[in-house]
Amino acid sequence: MAEIVLGEIKIEVEQKDIKNIHLSVYPPNGAVRIAAPERFDLDTIRVFALDKLKWIKQQQLTFQNQDREFEREYLTKESHYYLGKRYLLQVIEVPEPPKVVLKHSTIELYVRPNTSVEKKAIILENWYREQLKKMVPKMIQKWEKKIGVQSNDYRIKKMRTKWGSCNTNAKRIWLNLELAKKPRGCIEFIIVHELVHLLERSHNHLFVSYMNEFMPKWRFYREELNRLPFRHVDWKY
């Protein structure tokens, strides 16, 4: 993968069989990537990046100033989020199989004595995954009907740089496990975004017009996702 350097900003460049050039700045540290058509040379891509340099710096500054969640230790009274609401974790040691119980203001995490931090994290992540699996199919069905498309499958996984993605050939949607911590409207926004890719693969004017038509408040939800705290993780690119 090629690289362009503009002062202190390094930009990864991937050239592939696409029609348009795409610029992305990824949280949490503002890593920059450009996907460009194979016919473009690096000088042309550099000129494009220079033209967008002010926007790149604005995005990086936004990420630098954004709150981040503290690294989790999975202790009682630690803050955790579910569907945009803050809960206090209640760790309860019992000689029984682990489980998670959602209460009004707490998430009860039942574990065996001496359960490791890593194991507690897995138990809670599995619970988040199950909650998404309960709500996502209905959301997809709802928006497929409105948009007039049909996906073949959806899957949930931990993703470092994206909230979601769409394999347009397989008609498969991927959703970030972290979405379980965000408000329902934000989850639906990502679902709509990925389903619209079944109508238009690129993030061009046609794509934006579809988003405006099907979900007029999509920019609000996008900003909501950008505003909410990032999970504390070591992101690598």
If pLDDT is split at 50, 70 and 90, which confidence band does 133 have?
A: very high
User: CA 31 to CA 150: how far, in whole Å?
Assistant: 33
177-189 in b/e form (b: 16+ CB < 10 A) is bbbbbbbebbbbb
Collapsed DSSP state (helix, strand, coil) of residue 210: helix
Per DSSP, the residues of 113-148 read TT--HHHHHHHHHHHHHHHHHHHHHHHHHHHHHHHT
CA of 70: how far to CAs of 51, 225, 230, in Å? Answer: 36, 18, 9
| C-alpha 82: how far from chain center | 15
Least confident of 121-125, 161-165, 208-212: 161-165
Is it the case that residue 18 has pLDDT exceeding 90?
A: no
Query: What one-letter code names the amino acid at 159?
Result: M
Return mean pLDDT, the chain. 88
The pTM assigned to this predicted structure is: 0.72
Is it the case that residue 230 has pLDDT exceeding 70?
A: no
95-107 pLDDT, tens digit per residue, is 999 999 999 999 9
Is it the case that residue 237 has pLDDT exceeding 70?
A: no
140-166 pLDDT, tens digit per residue, is 999 999 999 999 999 999 887 689 999
53-87 pLDDT, tens digit per residue, is 998 988 888 777 665 555 778 999 999 999 999 99
Instruction: Name residue, tokens 């029609």.
Output: 19
The predicted pLDDT at position 27 comes to 66
Query: Domains (ranges, CATH) in the chain?
Result: 2-65 (no CATH), 79-227 (3.30.2010.10)
Structure tokens at 66: 């954004």
Rounding to the nearest 10 degrees, give the CA dihedral for residues 198, 136, 98, 117: 50
